[in-house]
């Protein structure tokens, strides 16, 4: 009855699986039956030849020997430990009991709650009270706790001679030197520039302007490398207001994304995911829902948004504009008003012409249909564009085209809100470019770089580094001695944001407060305090400390807006500190109104021009884990496998399998990419779903001065960015590829822990689902084992709490926040690139990504795979020492202190969710990093098996709390770490014996299925089938839908 | 040294069936010595998990006999965490100073405490009761069910110098959780929510959690 087949599967992982001869290969069959897809020793032998491989086998045997000898010596004496109590215990601290503080991540503006044990933060979670993110936190947000304890942060202020190495200094010395220089500038009337990253705090911006007011000329420039400045520029062009609009995905039934990764790498992606998924839930809060919104994507690199779309078309970078204008042509010729000028312009963009140019073989049918669908969804649709992979020379024109369509469809003011968001400031390249020009001309006397890293994120053509040498005084306020701090004479060590005060103003009426949650670890000082000290020394007035400054600002600003008199301020302030947010709108989104479109924008739209069908075009993109590269020293983020490519630790050149074959490139071949004299060498990753003329690489890698973890990991892609007046062009330029003949083994996890070719995942089209909601349950009735006699005594699961989990594949966007949340909560170690290369990653959540359909245009489904907590657990029956046994509440327990490391359990796990500690990974945690461990979870040593525990420490905690209060645990009171952080509430956890619990209801949902149910493991984790809003089977037409779905087992 | 005894009995059994020659005897003696040596080394390397009887010297010879016994200061006056935390907690110096800013201020030890307090330097006590890192023992849950401090910590009120009175290994914990050594008042407390524990047929069933993950996570 085994379902294992040797046929081409419907859901595939790599394109090789689509080749029937692959399955005839005896070696492949053997491989797929093993615990690891590739035998570690053989892999090791192969990758020892790879570049960047540091783990020599002989070395680690020696290391192992040494640590063994040391451990035997250490055991001879009984350890004597000290207990060191407080001298005066703070009233609010009880050792062993966590305190929770609300704060705000200034990078994303999302509200967080920090769990603090004995004065040290150990976990970040989203703030439930924050109306925009509602408890969600992204992977990058989750990982900030490790960044706080990064041992390579600056520990004290430093001085340096230009270009030399940093010399430790004191604050007196640094302040004296800085003030002396600044006084000189003030006296001579020279210009001072403050260059920062995007500052979401109005108070901080005012503080900067007060600092600059001490000089005759001062300028504050904000710069974000991945800024959506073209969106803001497009808004200004079309509507006359420079804003970043809010997109109301919860109001939209039809969404067309033209290269906009709003679910993945856009700022505020967690919020967008929350809204978007509201229209994708088939289990509504009140009743069953049988409608889905539809998401259509045209993009160059496959992003999370593309992976989640119902229909995805790969294009070249820059083609997005053609698609937009073609859609405009369809809607205008079918009754929508876009204006005469525009109409005559778009007449050149007939769908058939554009489709032919794009290499689409349907004669424009797809584009025409999208246009007609959009017309059907007037006022209930969104066309959205923006992001670096479509940031070509025509980026603003693309925005103008998109705005034209949205206004013509009446989406403006309905699903697109450009009136309630606070005014956007230019955080793009334009302002920085004029500053660099002034620096080059010697017009800037002093430059303060704070929280920005232009020396890394700008291409050399932007001339920042050379121009900085013309500035007499360069001061850096920085957390680390990074590429830009290296240019400075004085480096004022900045706090981590968890050590600092602050606020954010994400939209009208909503203020979010940031408070320090621990005493500064090092001799650092917040950037705001530093500027205040200098402002005062130069004769400025006002509050002495940043804390007082912020309070004063709230007393006079925010509190007044809320109608709080000065006498009631303390109470208001304490409330804001407790909740983390204050909101005049009480969670409701503010009302918006439509703006009228300016016809002038049409003049920016280009006439149709055919593309060169030979050129290979480059698209740059950013990864959900790495972003612009500022957190490159964060090992959790480096080791997080990319949700799409499943590669950890490096960046690479993505190229379609067919295009690669043409060039003779294979996976992991190092290739030379050349564009206008800039040359980069990096390994190749074969990525299905790319246009044959597109290659893509991620920015944020190849840092030079970030720390031990991030330095030299991957290749810096920023040099590929082109500079034009007023903007940076990230994508769309032609590149030449050349094989170097070398190879670099990428730490790609897609083949690790793969099961044999058993159908493990389900998806349906909406039509199939409506016709038969339970269709996924009956893919093959023969293979559903209902009642099978067991040879083991059967547990009685009818009483008490019985924990179960349900994961909705329709809601899971694959953002990976759960992976990092789990890592932070459960002390999961980082193993390093070389260990990931040989299948030894330790993540308890494996985010499986499956493709279906053709490699040119695949559909994607994500499946978070964790320990399934089987009631008939195959691991339990083979453990010789009973280290893995079942608990009364239905949890498959892993008892570390009993485990002797036979690894039988991992061998016998059909889901391959068990992880083995091949080394004492905790030993690689240096100094302050050890403060990041969660004291509630054992730190595992070498030779121990581990896996998902359903956050058993949280269950214990909830049980203790409920028992002491003499009640039962309420549904929803207890959340696992992954469930808590999930932006789309894809994960539900609770007591399946309580018929009213959410998880019990979901387990009865017609879409519910258990992975590999045929094995009769009776998993406690169940999945809800993915349902796509596509026309039945169209996407699978060439993917072999049908017979092979049923396998060959019956 | 149970391994050695076992070895001997095996030898005795074999004697019935065959008589070893003198070389064999030498070999057996050597084998016996090796086993004994191995056992000895093993005992040295891996001492019993129990630290029962461990009574380290403390930086200040604080007497529980005097404080808890003679003056009847409640345990929770100093060990404030015991009802609300996993940890009973060792008192901070300001708790000592509550009394000792006026009581017995001329004692050299109190002087030491006062100096520590003034200097803001905590006293480093030597830990007596220590469970392995992979054990999570919650005090609050046990105290709430009426387990007396003395059940695990011995008659602390009679100790001049605190020592570990009980084995505090897993078998000892389990005896209580399985109902063999559970104090009567605790059984009575548990019977309020689980009346079956008074039932004779329930005798062999655990009265508190015996799930591994209750303590190991």
Write down the domain spans for chain B. Answer: 2-45, 64-90+125-215
Search chain A and give the residue with CA nearest B216: A895
Size of interface A-B (CB pairs under 8 A): 119
Nearest CA to CA, how far is B157 from chain A (Å)?
Answer: 21
Are A899 and A945 in contact by the 8 Å Cβ rule? The answer is: yes
Does any CB of chain B come closer than 8 Å to the CB of residue A86? yes
- pLDDT per residue as tens digits for the range A161-195: 887 888 999 999 999 999 999 999 999 999 999 99
**At A329, is the pLDDT very low, low, confident or very high (cuts 50, 70, 90)?**
very high
Confidence of residue A66 (pLDDT cuts 50, 70, 90): very low
Q: Is the pLDDT reported for residue A32 higher than 90?
A: no
Q: At what angle do helices B93-100 and B108-119 cross, to 10 degrees?
A: 130
- Angstrom distance (rounded) from CA A322 to CA A803: 52
Structure tokens at A943: 């030779």
**Better-scored residue on pLDDT, A219 or B23:** A219
Least confidently predicted of B29-43, B62-76, B181-195: B29-43
Model confidence band, residue B200 (pLDDT cutoffs 50, 70, 90):
confident
Residue B57, chain A, CB below 8 Å: the answer is no
Among candidates A585, A510, A545, A573, which has minimal Cα distance to A200? A510
Q: In this predicted model, what pLDDT tens digit does every residue of A773-785 receive, in sequence order?
A: 777 765 555 555 5
Residue given tokens 């960015």 in the structure block: A721
**DSSP characters over A116-142:** EETTEEEEEEE-TT-TTTTT---HHHH
Q: How far is A894 from chain B (nearest CA, A)?
A: 8
pLDDT over threshold 90, residue A51: no
| Residues B123, A85: C-beta atoms closer than 8 Å | yes
Q: Which domains are present in chain A?
A: 15-53+751-787+799-1046 (3.30.70.20), 158-227+426-581 (3.40.50.740), 229-417 (3.40.228.10), 614-747 (2.40.40.20)
Residue A635, pLDDT > 90, answer yes
Rounded to the nearest angstrom, the gap between the alpha carbon of residue B194 and the centroid of all alpha carbons in its chain is 28
Which among B47, B125, B216 is the nearest to A82, CB-wise? B125
CA-wise closest residue to A158 among A142, A174, A143:
A174
Report A:886-915 residues touching B (Cβ under 8 A).
887-889, 891, 893, 895-898
| Per-residue tokens: A513 | 């407060």
Three-state DSSP at B65 gives helix
Residues of chain A positioned with their CB less than 8 A from the CB of B207:
none
Which residue does chain B place closest to A890, by CA atoms? B211
Predicted confidence (pLDDT) at residue B141 exceeds the cutoff of 60 = yes
Cα A933 to Cα A925: distance, rounded to the nearest angstrom? 10
**A95 closest CB neighbour out of B85, B211, B217:** B85
Report the SS3 class of residue A585: coil
Taken in order A543, A546, A548, A551, is the CA torsion positive or negative? positive
Q: What is the mean pLDDT of residues B203-214?
A: 84
Q: Choose from A71, A94, A934, A959 for mutation: most chain B CBs within 10 A.
A: A94
User: Does A434 have pLDDT greater than 60?
Assistant: yes
Q: So what's the pLDDT on residue A133?
A: 84
Scanning every residue of chain A, which has its alpha carbon at the shortest distance from the alpha carbon of B86? A96
- The number of C-alpha atoms within 13 Å of A610 and in the hemisphere containing its C-beta is 8
Q: Is A87's CB within 8 Å of B124's CB? A: no
Contacts of A956 in chain B (CB under 8 A): 136, 138, 213-214, 217
| CA separation for the pair A863, A1010 (Å, rounded) | 12
The string of pLDDT tens digits covering residues A519-529 is 999 999 999 99
Average pLDDT rounded to a whole number, residues A254-281: 92
Q: Mean pLDDT for chain A?
A: 88
Q: Indicate the pLDDT class of residue A624, thresholds 50, 70 and 90.
A: very high
Residues of B in contact with A80 (CB under 8 A): 56, 126-127
Categorize the per-residue pLDDT at B5 as very low, low, confident or very high, splitting at 50, 70 and 90. Answer: very low
Nearest Cα of chain A lies from the Cα of B16 at a distance, in angstroms, of 35
Mutation for A interface: B173, B212, B216, most A CBs within 10 A: B212
Residues of A in contact with B94 (CB under 8 A): 86-89
**Angle, to 10 degrees, between the axis of helix A202-212 and the axis of helix A527-537?**
30
The alpha-carbon gap from B18 to the nearest alpha carbon of chain A, in Å, equals 36
* pLDDT for the residue A23: 83
The partner residue sitting opposite B93, judged by closest CB among A81, A82, A88, is A88
Residues of B in contact with A963 (CB under 8 A): 141, 144
Q: In the predicted model, what is the mean pLDDT of residues A498-519?
A: 91
Q: What is the pLDDT of residue A786?
A: 61
Residue A490: per-residue pLDDT: 94
Residues of A in contact with B80 (CB under 8 A): 94
Interface test with A, best of B41, B60, B134, B162 (most A CBs within 10 A): B134
What are the pLDDT digits (tens) for A464-502?
999 999 999 999 999 999 999 999 999 999 999 999 999
Task: Convert the pLDDT of each residue in A655-682 to its tens digit.
Answer: 999 999 999 999 999 999 999 889 999 9
- Distance between B90 CA and the closest CA of chain A, angstroms: 6
B124 neighbourhood in chain A, CB within 8 Å: 82-84
Min Cα–Cα distance to chain B from A893, Å: 6
pLDDT tier, B197 (very low <50, low <70, confident <90, very high otherwise): confident
Q: Is B132 on the interface with A (CB under 8 A)?
A: yes
> Which chain B residues are Cβ-neighbours of A949 within 8 angstroms?
213, 217
Provide the phi-psi class of B88: left if phi over 0, else alpha when psi is between -120 and 50, else beta.
Answer: alpha
Question: Residue A78's pLDDT band (boundaries 50, 70, 90)?
Answer: low
pLDDT, position B45: 61
Q: What kind and span of H or E run contains B99?
A: helix B93-100
Output the pLDDT for position A482.
92
- ipTM for the whole complex: 0.84
CB atoms B93 and A898 under 8 Å = no
Output the six-digit token pair for A746: 């990428």
Assess A75–B contact: CB distance below 8 Å, yes or no. yes
Prediction pTM value: 0.90
**A887/B211 CB distance under 8 A:** yes
Helix H or strand E segment including A446:
strand A444-450
Percent of chain A clearing pLDDT 90 (strictly above): 67
From A848, A837, A860, select the one nearest A1039 (Cα to Cα).
A860
B136 contacts on A by Cβ (under 8 Å): 936, 953, 956
Cβ atoms of A864 and A812 within 8 Å: the answer is: yes
Q: CB–CB of A820/A143 below 8 Å? A: yes
Cβ contacts (< 8 Å) between A94 and chain B: which residues? 80-81, 84-85, 89
Contact B141 A893 (CB under 8 A): no
CA A815 → CA A810, A984, B212, distances in Å?
Answer: 13, 10, 34
Residue A530's φ and ψ, nearest 5 degrees, are -60, -45
B117 to A87: CB separation less than 8 angstroms, yes or no: yes
CA end-to-end span of chain A, whole Å?
A: 7
* Band of residue B22 on the pLDDT scale cut at 50, 70, 90: low
Q: How far apart, in Å, are the Cα atoms of A977 and each of A134, A826, A844?
A: 15, 9, 12
Interface probe with B: pick from A68, A939, A956, most Cβ of B within 10 Å: A956
Which helix (H) or strand (E) element contains residue A256?
strand A254-258
Do residue B127 and residue A95 have CB atoms under 8 angstroms apart?
Answer: no
Q: Are the beta carbons of A477 and A199 closer than 8 angstroms?
A: no
Torsion angle defined by CA atoms of residues A165, A168, A174 and A178, in that order, rounded to the nearest 10 degrees: 10
Model confidence at A108, pLDDT cuts 50, 70, 90, reads confident
Between strands A294-299 and A254-258, the pairing is parallel
List own/partner pairs for A872-875 with CB under 8 A and 24 or more apart.
A872/A790, A872/A792, A872/A1016, A872/A1017, A872/A1018, A873/A1017, A874/A908, A874/A909, A874/A910, A874/A1015, A874/A1017, A875/A904, A875/A905, A875/A906, A875/A908, A875/A909, A875/A914
- The Cα of B87 is separated from the nearest Cα of chain A by a number of Å equal to 6
Q: What is the mean pLDDT of chain B?
A: 84
Task: Report how far residue A1025's alpha carbon sits from residue A778's, in angstroms, rounded to the nearest whole number.
Answer: 12
- C-alpha count within 13 angstroms, C-beta hemisphere, residue B126: 17
Give chain A's largest Cα–Cα span: 91
Interface contact flag, A897 B134, Cβ < 8 Å:
yes
pLDDT above 80 for A49: no
Judge whether residue A447 has pLDDT over 90.
yes
Angle at A24 between CA A18 and CA A27, to 5 degrees: 105
CB contact under 8 A, A81 and B130: yes
Minimum distance, in Å, between the CA of residue B19 and any CA atom of chain A: 38
In angstroms, what CA-CA distances link A791 with A347, A796, A878? 73, 15, 14
| Binary contact (A895, B213; C-beta < 8 A) | yes
| Chain B neighbors of A87, CB-CB under 8 A | 92-94, 116-117, 120-122
A783 Cα to chain B: minimum distance (Å): 34
| Residue numbers in B near A76 (CB within 8 A) | 44-45
Q: Which of A72, A75, A952 is the closest to B217 by Cβ?
A: A952
Q: Which residues contact B115 (CB under 8 A, 6 or more apart)?
A: none
Place A990 in a pLDDT band, splitting at 50, 70 and 90: very high
Angle between helices A319-333 and A395-408 (to 10 degrees): 20
Closest by Cβ to B92, choosing from A72, A89, A896: A89
Residue A691 has pLDDT above 90, yes or no: yes
pLDDT of residue A592: 76
- From the list B45, B92, B132, the residue facing A85 with the nearest CB is B92
Tell me the pLDDT tens digit for each residue of A340-385: 888 899 999 999 999 999 999 889 999 999 999 999 999 999 999 9
Quick one: which of B21, B44, B24 has its CA closest to B32? Answer: B24
Instruction: State the DSSP string of A57-102.
Output: HHHHHHHHHHHHHHHHHHTSSPPP-EE---SS--TT--TT--EEEE
């Amino acid at each position: 009855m085994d379902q294992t087949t040797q046929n081409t599967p419907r859901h595939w992982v790599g394109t090789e699986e689509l080749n029937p001869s692959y399955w005839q290969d005896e070696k492949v069959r053997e491989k797929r039956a093993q615990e690891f897809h590739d035998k570690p020793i053989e892999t090791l032998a192969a990758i020892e030849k790879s570049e960047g491989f540091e783990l020599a086998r002989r070395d680690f045997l020696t290391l192992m020997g040494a640590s063994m000898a040391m451990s035997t010596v250490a055991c001879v004496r009984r350890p004597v430990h000290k207990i060191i109590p407080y001298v005066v215990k703070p009233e609010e601290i009880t050792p062993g009991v966590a305190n929770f503080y609300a704060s705000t991540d200034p990078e994303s503006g999302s509200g967080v709650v920090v769990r603090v044990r004995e004065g040290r933060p150990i976990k970040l979670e989203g703030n439930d009270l924050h109306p925009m993110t509602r408890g969600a936190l992204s992977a990058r947000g989750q990982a900030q706790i490790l960044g706080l304890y990064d041992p390579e942060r600056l520990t004290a202020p430093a001085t340096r001679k230009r270009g030399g190495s940093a010399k430790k200094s004191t604050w007196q010395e640094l302040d004296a030197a800085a003030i002396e220089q600044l006084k000189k500038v003030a006296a001579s009337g020279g210009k001072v520039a403050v260059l920062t990253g995007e500052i979401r705090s109005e108070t901080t911006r005012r503080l900067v302007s007060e600092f600059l007011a001490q000089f005759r000329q001062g300028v504050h420039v904000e710069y974000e490398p991945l800024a959506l400045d073209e969106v803001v520029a497009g808004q200004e062009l079309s509507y006359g207001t420079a804003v970043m609009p809010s997109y109301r995905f919860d109001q939209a039934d039809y969404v067309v994304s033209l290269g906009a990764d709003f679910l993945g790498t856009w700022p505020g992606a967690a919020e967008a995911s929350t809204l978007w998924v509201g229209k994708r839930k088939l289990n509504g809060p009140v009743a069953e829902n049988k409608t889905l919104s539809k998401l259509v994507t045209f993009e160059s690199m496959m992003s999370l948004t593309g992976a989640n779309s119902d229909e995805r078309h790969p294009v070249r970078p820059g083609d997005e504009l053609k698609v937009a204008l073609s859609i405009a042509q369809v809607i205008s010729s079918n009754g929508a008003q876009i204006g005469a000028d525009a109409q005559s312009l778009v007449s050149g963009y007939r769908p058939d012409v554009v489709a032919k140019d794009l290499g689409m073989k349907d004669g424009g049918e797809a584009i025409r249909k999208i246009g007609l669908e959009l017309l059907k969804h007037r006022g209930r649709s969104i066309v959205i564009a923006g992001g670096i992979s479509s940031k070509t020379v025509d980026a603003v024109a693309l925005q103008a085209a998109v705005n034209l369509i949205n206004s013509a469809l009446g989406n403006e003011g309905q699903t697109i809100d450009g009136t309630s968001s606070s005014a956007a400031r230019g955080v793009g390249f334009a302002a920085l470019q004029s500053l660099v020009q002034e620096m080059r001309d010697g017009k800037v006397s002093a430059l303060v770089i704070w929280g920005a890293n232009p020396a890394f994120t700008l291409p050399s053509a932007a001339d920042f580094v050379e121009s900085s040498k013309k500035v007499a005084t360069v001061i850096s306020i920085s957390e680390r001695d990074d590429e830009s701090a290296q240019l400075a004479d004085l480096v004022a060590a900045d706090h981590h944001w968890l050590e600092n005060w602050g606020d954010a103003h994400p939209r009208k009426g909503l203020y979010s407060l940031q408070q320090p949650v621990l005493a500064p670890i090092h001799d650092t000082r917040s950037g705001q305090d530093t500027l205040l000290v200098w402002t005062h020394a130069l004769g400025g007035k006002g509050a002495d400390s940043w804390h007082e400054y912020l309070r004063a600002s709230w007393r006079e600003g925010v509190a007044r807006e809320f109608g709080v008199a000065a006498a009631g301020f303390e109470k208001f302030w304490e409330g804001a500190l407790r909740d983390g947010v204050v909101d005049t709108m009480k969670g409701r989104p503010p009302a918006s109104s439509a703006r009228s479109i300016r016809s002038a924008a049409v003049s920016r739209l280009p006439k149709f021009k055919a593309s060169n069908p030979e050129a290979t075009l480059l698209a740059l993109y950013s990864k959900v884990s790495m972003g612009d590269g500022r957190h490159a020293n964060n090992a959790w983020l480096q080791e997080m496998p990319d949700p799409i490519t499943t590669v950890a630790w490096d960046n690479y050149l993505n190229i379609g399998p067919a295009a690669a074959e043409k060039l003779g490139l294979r996976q992991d071949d190092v290739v030379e990419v050349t564009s206008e004299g800039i040359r980069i060498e990096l390994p190749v990753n074969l990525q299905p779903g790319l246009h044959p003329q597109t290659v893509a690489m991620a920015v944020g890698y190849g840092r030079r001065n970030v720390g031990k973890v991030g330095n030299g990991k991957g290749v810096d892609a920023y040099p590929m960015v082109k500079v034009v007046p007023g903007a940076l062009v990230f994508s769309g330029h032609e590149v030449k590829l050349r094989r170097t003949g070398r190879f670099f083994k990428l730490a790609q996890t897609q083949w690790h822990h793969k099961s044999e070719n058993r159908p493990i995942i389900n998806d349906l089209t909406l039509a199939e689902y409506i016709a038969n909601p339970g269709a996924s349950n009956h893919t093959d009735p023969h293979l559903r084992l209902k009642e099978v006699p067991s040879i083991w005594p059967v547990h009685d699961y009818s009483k008490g709490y019985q924990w179960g989990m349900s994961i909705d594949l329709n809601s899971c966007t694959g953002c990976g926040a759960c992976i990092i949340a789990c890592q932070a909560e459960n002390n999961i170690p980082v193993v390093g690139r070389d260990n990931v290369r040989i299948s030894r990653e330790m993540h308890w959540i494996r985010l499986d990504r499956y493709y279906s359909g053709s490699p040119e245009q695949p559909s994607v489904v994500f499946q978070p795979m964790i320990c399934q907590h089987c009631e008939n657990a195959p691991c339990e029956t083979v453990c010789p020492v009973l280290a893995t046994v079942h608990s009364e509440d239905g949890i498959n327990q892993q008892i570390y202190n009993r485990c002797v490391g036979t690894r039988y359990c991992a061998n016998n796990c059909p889901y391959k969710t068990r992880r083995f500690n091949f080394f004492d990974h905790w030993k690689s945690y240096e100094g302050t990093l050890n403060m990041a461990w969660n004291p509630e979870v054992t730190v595992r040593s070498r030779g121990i098996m581990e896996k998902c525990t359903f956050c058993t420490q949280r269950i214990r905690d909830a049980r203790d709390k409920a028992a002491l209060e003499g009640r039962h645990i309420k549904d929803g009171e207890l959340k696992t770490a992954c469930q808590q952080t999930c932006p789309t509430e894809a994960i539900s956890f609770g007591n399946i014996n309580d018929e009213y619990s959410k998880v019990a209801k979901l387990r009865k949902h017609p879409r519910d299925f258990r992975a590999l149910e045929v094995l009769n493991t009776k998993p406690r984790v169940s999945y809800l089938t993915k349902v796509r809003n596509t026309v039945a089977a169209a996407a699978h037409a060439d993917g072999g839908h049908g017979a092979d779905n049923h396998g060959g087992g019956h | 040294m149970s391994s050695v005894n076992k070895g001997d009995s095996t030898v005795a059994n074999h004697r019935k069936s065959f008589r070893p020659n003198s070389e064999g005897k030498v070999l057996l003696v050597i084998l016996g010595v090796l086993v004994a040596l191995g056992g000895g080394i093993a005992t040295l390397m891996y001492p019993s998990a129990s630290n029962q009887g461990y009574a380290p010297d403390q930086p200040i010879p604080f007497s529980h006999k005097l404080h808890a016994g003679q003056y009847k200061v409640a345990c929770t006056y100093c060990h404030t965490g015991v009802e609300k935390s996993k940890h009973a907690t060792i008192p901070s110096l300001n708790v000592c100073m509550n009394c000792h800013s006026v009581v017995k201020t001329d004692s050299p030890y109190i002087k030491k405490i006062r100096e520590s307090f003034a200097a803001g330097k905590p006293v480093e006590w030597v830990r007596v009761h220590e469970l392995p890192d992979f054990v999570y023992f919650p005090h609050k849950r046990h105290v709430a069910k009426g387990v007396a401090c003395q059940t695990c910590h011995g008659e602390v009120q009679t100790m001049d110098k605190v020592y570990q009175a009980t084995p505090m290994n897993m078998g000892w914990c389990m005896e209580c959780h399985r109902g063999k050594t559970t104090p009567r008042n605790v059984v009575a407390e548990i019977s309020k929510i689980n009346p079956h524990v008074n039932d004779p047929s329930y005798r062999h069933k655990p009265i508190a959690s015996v799930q591994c993950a209750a303590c190991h996570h």
